Amino acid sequence: MKIVKFILSLLFGLMFINAGLNKFFNYMPMEKPTPEQMKLFAAFGEISWLMPLTGIVEVIGGLLFVFPKTRALGAIIILPVMIGIVFHIFTLDKSPMGMSIAGVLFLINLWMIIDNKEKYKTLVK
């Protein structure tokens, strides 16, 4: 089970590192956005600091998620971004592939949070 957890954490972390770096270097092609997505991306463009901040959070959270010692912190840092991804995919995008990937990533994130719940107890006393 430890090896499965490590492999899933490594893949999860690498996906977020890749997504975060793509926000700075734009090396992955995007599908043609829907009109609703165009409005959303235009709104994000108005807030010039939002995408760089999201990219930094994704890279830092992904790096922390890879290493077992910092995985609990990485899981909490990535959670708000993951919730935003899930809401976007399930409300605007609605692609079956996107829904399945986002669902699996969200479940991995929740699993790591539950698996590290002892580390969070001092935060919520």
| Mean per-residue pLDDT pooled into runs of 10, the chain (125 residues) | 95 97 93 86 90 96 97 97 94 89 97 95 83
Residue 21, pLDDT score = 97
pLDDT of residue 13: 98
Tell me how far apart the alpha carbons of residues 86 and 124 are, in angstroms, rounded to a whole number. Answer: 25
Which residues neighbour 34 within 8 Å (Cβ) at sequence distance 6 or greater?
92, 93
- What is the C-alpha end-to-end distance of the chain, expressed in Å? 30
Which of 16, 38, 18 is closest to 26 using CA atoms? 18
- Whole-number Å distance between alpha carbons of 106 and 109: 5
Please tell me the pTM assigned to this model.
Answer: 0.91
Q: What is residue 44's three-state secondary structure?
A: helix
Question: What pLDDT does 55 receive?
Answer: 97
pLDDT of residue 58: 98
